[in-house]
Amino acid sequence: MPELPEVETITKQINRMLPLKIKNVKWSKFKKNLLKKEEINLSKSTIVKSYRQGKAVVMELDNGFLICRLGMSGGWKFTGEYKHTHLQITGKFVLKYVDPRRFGKLYLVRSLDDFKVIDICGPEFNLEYLRSVLAKGKGELKPFLLNQRYFPGIGNYLASEICYYTKLRPNTPVKKVKDLKLLLASIKKVIALSIKAGGLSFHGGYHDTSNKKGGLKTKVFWRKVCSCGESITKIKQNGRSSYFCKKCQN
């Protein structure tokens, strides 16, 4: 599932190609399932900018915004033919929304207001912010990191990796997390490493706009052995797999 670094990669790649004056828009028969709001007419627009808002792909138009949540398997492509293309935008180049499992959602809206979230990569995501959300935090650390209200864009692999860098196990109670500086640094570090590597691909998942895989090498997620030599332990938390090293995280 694409998380913050994968969305950042996609939006940067799209942004480099812009502007795109749209000449033709073609939807698949699943338009109604995917397009959740249609306040503006895409076929008369120009895409001027593309950026990330949390885990959402934002395409800024001259008359509004095309916002896309990628869901489990959504992606944007410049090249290639794909069986599950649900939206094809044609101008001086072609931009395709491809989504085999169709859990993605698209919105054509006049304003971005309903989609604004805190940016984990921005200065407002700081020690003070972390202190305030941890005070409200219940349960275990890794599931807590998946709460999109507090950590928009953090998904399953980032959360496992963040726990590794904090040297805490994924099932550590949130109340017992004391070193907020380390937690903040770990969040920023894991995200920066992944963005630099162009995200993570595993189990035939995420590919970028040119259909290339992400290059991130994880420490514990989807791994069998830790760099310390210890076997990686896999547990389930709220039905999601968590990975950790018993030796490095305790």
Residue ranges in contact with Zn ion by CB under 5 A? 226, 228, 230, 245, 247-248
Q: What are phi and psi of 153, to 5 degrees?
A: 110, -15
* H helix and E strand count, the chain: 6, 12
Shorter beta-carbon distance to Zn ion: residue 50 or 218 = 218
Q: How far is the CB of 144 from Zn ion (least distance, A)?
A: 22
Shorter beta-carbon distance to Zn ion: residue 72 or 228 = 228
List own/partner pairs for 201-207 with CB under 8 A and 24 or more apart. 202/157, 205/1, 205/73, 206/1, 206/2, 206/6, 206/75, 207/75
Shorter beta-carbon distance to Zn ion: residue 61 or 245 = 245
Shorter beta-carbon distance to Zn ion: residue 109 or 226 = 226
Rounded distance between C-alpha atoms, residue 128 and residue 115, angstroms: 23
Q: How far is the CB of 224 from Zn ion (least distance, A)?
A: 12
Shorter beta-carbon distance to Zn ion: residue 97 or 244 = 244
Q: How far is the CB of 87 from Zn ion (least distance, A)?
A: 44
Three-state DSSP at 190 gives helix
Shorter beta-carbon distance to Zn ion: residue 107 or 221 = 221
Q: How far is the CB of 231 from Zn ion (least distance, A)?
A: 9
Three-state DSSP string of 14-59:
HHHHCCEECCEEEECCCHHHHEEEECCCHHHCEEEEEEEECCEEEE
Q: How far is the CB of 147 from Zn ion (least distance, A)?
A: 26
Rounded distance between C-alpha atoms, residue 193 and residue 184, angstroms: 14
Three-state DSSP at 225 gives strand
Q: How far is the CB of 154 from Zn ion (least distance, A)?
A: 22
Shorter beta-carbon distance to Zn ion: residue 90 or 171 = 171
Cβ atoms of 71 and 99 within 8 Å: the answer is yes
Q: How far is the CB of 245 from Zn ion (least distance, A)?
A: 3
Question: For helices 127-136 and 180-196, what crossing angle results, to 10°?
Answer: 110
